[in-house]
Structure 1
Amino acid sequence: MALNWVEIDLAALRHNFMQVRSRAGSRAGILAVVKSDAYGHGMVPVARELAAAGADFFGVSKCWEALKLRSAGIAQPILILAGIEPEDVPHVLEKDLRPAVYRPDHCRWLEEASRRAGKRARIHLKIDTGMGRLGVPDRELGPFLDQLMGFRHLEIEGVFSHLATSDEADKTFSHEQLHRFRTALQMFHDRAIPFRYAHIANSGGVLDIPEAHHQLVRPGIMLYGSPPSDEIRDPAPLKPVMTLKTKVLQIKWVAAGQSIGYGRTFICPRPMRIATIAVGYDDGYPRVLSNRGEALVRGRRAPIVGRVSMNLITLDVTHIPEAAEDDEVVLLGAQGPERITAEEIAEKAGTISYEIYCAVGKNPQRLFCNQTNGLA
């Protein structure tokens, strides 16, 4: 066994997917977002599990991610959310990928290559309804559509946008975006431009804004067991998918007045029983949690004392007399009756659960398991 490792619970992943299905109902398909290595959870194993569970589409950020899924046998349509570069065009046509399009030159690249190949490229046109990032600004959509109608080898399979504040309690701006999105969709109808899918609902939209579901929904963070924020009005009973585990390397008594770790940021106020564990910021655990974070040992919380270093952390286990060397330690996840969530870590670190998952998930020692059946 490695000194530290990440466990991915595929049964929890499937449970979360079914929560999406229950919210989306039978009317909307599910585009499962597995970009950035499935938020650190392992893109290929996650996609395979979700494909078996009934995912209709997958969403990635870059073309190489889509190619990796195709190489792994994923047959569902794959949307490349960030768009494409010229060198990606042959792969789009060969592997039947769906690029997001938001620039006229994207259309020209795909039109020319499709014409030469005698194919039609299926695209999803991205509209900026207020996020201010990628997308054709909705006020400029008319001229863009007029130009797009001249491309005979492009099939507009989807039209989509992205909600900026769906995870906030105040849905005012989300409803403004929905209005702008519907107005944009009407421009397609007015020009008799057909499309199959409209989609705008991310995890916050799936949970709190059913009128945003349209023909596809795009869950991301909720698949991995976290709500998009604590302001969600109608949360679902999600199950965390990722656990970060390590082991106790050494336990020793440290005298009162002795310092612990780099910079001597912790001085023992009394004799203390200190456990050194085999994880650090190289393993994605935030250094900012020095003297602030906690870990689970024998099902009890043990505070971090001293600095989080590259490969080691020190814990106060004075109050856990049964703690022993080689014990399993959990820094993210459950042990016995206790659980440390990504949201708890993120709050202490001044970030969001997404970043915690992506950082911790880079651990090369990643085990895929099933709550019921053990290792997958």
Structure 2
Amino acid sequence: MPLSWVEIDLAALRHNLLQVRKRMSARTQIIGVVKSDAYGHGMLPIARELVSGGVHFLAVSKFWEAQELLVAGIRHPILVLSGIEPCDMEEAIRQQVRPALFRLDHAELMSRTACRLDTEAKIHLKVDTGMGRLGVPYERAPAFLDKLLALPGIKLEGILSHFAAADESDKSYSELQLSRFREVLGELAGRGHAVQFIHIANSAGLLDLPHAHFQLIRPGIMLYGSPPSQELHFPARLKPVMSLKAKILQLKDVPAGQPIGYGRTFLPEKPSRIATIPVGYDDGYPRLLSNQGQVLVCGQRAAVVGRVSMNLITIDVTHVRQAKEDDEVVLLGEQMDDRISAEEIAQTCATISYEIYCSIGRHRFKYFLNGAADL
């Protein structure tokens, strides 16, 4: 066992997937979002678990992520949410990887490539209904559809959009986006074209906008055990999938006034017992937790004192008299009756749980518990 490590609880993932199923419409299927290394949780084992759990699609951000899934033997429908670059189109078509498409020049190249290969390229048209990022602007969608539907070799399998504020308690903007999306769906129907898959709902949309489920939903953060935001009434009991743990590397007694760490930002007011933990910002533990964070030792909370450095932090365990070297420390996760959540860390750092998971998930030692598939 290394000095510090990340644990991924696949039983918790299965539990969260069940919570998704309990809240979705009977006619709806699931896109398991595994982009960005499954939010830091490990894309390949997570993808295998989700496929085993019956998700209909997997979604990634970049084509190279889709290639990793394919090389690993995961032969399942894959949607690339950021689209596919021209240099990758032929391979994507051969592998039946679907792009979220939003550029006409990409559609035309895909059409020519599919015709040359004597096959059909499946795509999902992305419509921007108010997020302001990727997508055909909804007011330009009718003209775009006229050109897209005329292209040979292209199968419009799906159409999607993305909520900008579904994680807010005020749903007025989400309802506006949904109205715009339905307008585009009406334009598509008016052209006599039906698509197999319509999708707009993310985790927040799944929970708070059941009339937006359509044929597919795209849960992301909910699968990994966190709510989309703290504003929502959250009717699902989720289990966090990721933990960050380490061992106490050294214990020392220091006198009052003895500086701790870079910059001497912590000076004990009384004789103290300080534990050094082999975790730092290289492991994704935020430097903003310097003199702010808390960890769990022997089931008790202990304060991070001094600056978080690249590979080490120091904690005050003066009150945890039973603590000893090599004891387990939980920096993210549960120990006995307490838990350090990603939401707690995120609040301290003025960020969101997504960033905490992605950062910590880059840790080089990751262990998959409760039925992990082979890497």
Separation of aligned partners in 2, 1:347 and 1:182: 36
Q: Aligned runs of 1:53-202 on 2, under 5 Å?
A: 53-202=53-202
Contact 1:294–1:303 (CA under 8 A) maintained in structure 2 = yes
**C-alpha displacement at 1:168, in angstroms?**
0.4
Output the amino acid matched with 2:43: M
**C-alpha displacement at 1:234, in angstroms?**
3.6
**C-alpha displacement at 1:22, in angstroms?**
1.0
Contact 1:198–1:215 (CA under 8 A) maintained in structure 2 = yes
Separation of aligned partners in 1, 2:105 and 2:19: 39
Contact 2:293–2:348 (CA under 8 A) maintained in structure 1 = yes
Q: Tell me the secondary structure at the aligned position of residue 162 of structure 1.
A: coil
Q: For residue 285 of structure 1, what is the aligned residue in structure 2?
A: 285
Separation of aligned partners in 2, 1:256 and 1:195: 70
Q: For residue 298 of structure 1, what is the aligned residue in structure 2?
A: 298
Output the amino acid matched with 1:171: K
Q: For residue 42 of structure 2, what is the aligned residue in structure 1?
A: 42
Contact 1:167–1:229 (CA under 8 A) maintained in structure 2 = yes
Contact 2:297–2:323 (CA under 8 A) maintained in structure 1 = yes
Q: Does 1:313 align with 2:313?
A: yes
Separation of aligned partners in 1, 2:372 and 2:60: 29
**C-alpha displacement at 1:222, in angstroms?**
0.3
Q: For residue 238 of structure 2, what is the aligned residue in structure 1?
A: 238
Q: For residue 369 of structure 1, what is the aligned residue in structure 2?
A: 369
**C-alpha displacement at 1:142, in angstroms?**
1.0
How many residues end up aligned between the 2 structures?
Answer: 374
Separation of aligned partners in 2, 1:187 and 1:195: 12
Deviations 1:130-168 (A, max 9, x none): 000000000001110111122021000000000000000
**C-alpha displacement at 1:120, in angstroms?**
0.6
Output the amino acid matched with 2:291: N
Output the amino acid matched with 1:102: F
- Paired-residue identity, %: 58
Separation of aligned partners in 2, 1:374 and 1:145: 43
Deviations 1:192-225 (A, max 9, x none): 1221010000000011110010000000000000
Separation of aligned partners in 2, 1:140 and 1:291: 51
Separation of aligned partners in 2, 1:308 and 1:53: 39
TM-score normalised by structure 1 residue count: 0.98
**C-alpha displacement at 1:374, in angstroms?**
9.2
Output the amino acid matched with 2:70: R
Q: Tell me the secondary structure at the aligned position of residue 259 of structure 1.
A: coil
Separation of aligned partners in 2, 1:284 and 1:323: 25
Contact 2:49–2:373 (CA under 8 A) maintained in structure 1 = no
Deviations 1:259-278 (A, max 9, x none): 11000000010000000011
Q: Tell me the secondary structure at the aligned position of residue 248 of structure 2.
A: strand
Contact 1:293–1:304 (CA under 8 A) maintained in structure 2 = yes
Q: Does 1:259 align with 2:259?
A: yes
Of stretches 207-216 and 85-94 in structure 1, the one that deviates more from structure 2 is: 85-94
Output the amino acid matched with 1:196: Q
List gaps (5 residues or longer) in structure 1. none
Output the amino acid matched with 1:290: S
List gaps (5 residues or longer) in structure 2. none
Output the amino acid matched with 1:57: F
Contact 2:16–2:222 (CA under 8 A) maintained in structure 1 = yes
The structure-2 alpha-carbon separation of the partners of 1:149 and 1:170, relative to structure 1 and needing over 3 Å to count, comes to same
**C-alpha displacement at 1:94, in angstroms?**
1.4
Contact 1:35–1:59 (CA under 8 A) maintained in structure 2 = yes
Deviations 1:254-308 (A, max 9, x none): 0011111000000010000000011001000000110000111011100011111
Q: For residue 350 of structure 2, what is the aligned residue in structure 1?
A: 350
Separation of aligned partners in 2, 1:333 and 1:286: 15
The structure-2 alpha-carbon separation of the partners of 1:234 and 1:333, relative to structure 1 and needing over 3 Å to count, comes to closer
Output the amino acid matched with 2:109: W
Contact 2:10–2:372 (CA under 8 A) maintained in structure 1 = no
| RMSD over equivalenced CA pairs, Å | 1.1
Q: Aligned runs of 1:200-211 on 2, under 5 Å?
A: 200-211=200-211
**C-alpha displacement at 1:72, in angstroms?**
1.5
Separation of aligned partners in 2, 1:27 and 1:35: 25
Separation of aligned partners in 2, 1:375 and 1:272: 45
Separation of aligned partners in 2, 1:4 and 1:90: 42
The structure-2 alpha-carbon separation of the partners of 1:17 and 1:147, relative to structure 1 and needing over 3 Å to count, comes to same
Separation of aligned partners in 2, 1:322 and 1:63: 51
Q: Tell me the secondary structure at the aligned position of residue 305 of structure 2.
A: coil
Output the amino acid matched with 1:40: G
TM-score normalised by structure 2 residue count: 0.98
**C-alpha displacement at 1:375, in angstroms?**
10
Of stretches 84-93 and 161-170 in structure 1, the one that deviates more from structure 2 is: 84-93
Contact 1:67–1:95 (CA under 8 A) maintained in structure 2 = no
Separation of aligned partners in 2, 1:375 and 1:5: 18
